[in-house]
Amino acid sequence: MPPLQEILDEFGLKDGIAASASQAAGYRGKLPDAMVDFWVEHGRGHRPVNLCRGSAEAR
């Protein structure tokens, strides 16, 4: 079983915001296709997180 599937099975999917075809196209070639396909199919997170500072909850 792929590692991502194990995470999905344990935690489920949250209400993600689907990426449009034009948004997905902007990430193709920069990110793995599997990640971009996942965003189109299932959505992505609600709020951007500054990875250098962490999420708002962590502060």
What is the distance between the alpha carbons of residues 37 and 55, in angstroms, rounded to a whole number?
A: 25
Q: What is the mean pLDDT of residues 25-49?
A: 82
**CB–CB of 8/27 below 8 Å?**
no
The SS3 call for residue 12 is: coil
What is the distance between the alpha carbons of residues 32 and 50, in angstroms, rounded to a whole number?
A: 21
pTM value is 0.57
List, for residues 11-34, the tens digit of each pLDDT value. Answer: 766 677 778 889 899 999 999 998
HSE-CB of 43 using CA atoms within 13 angstroms: 10
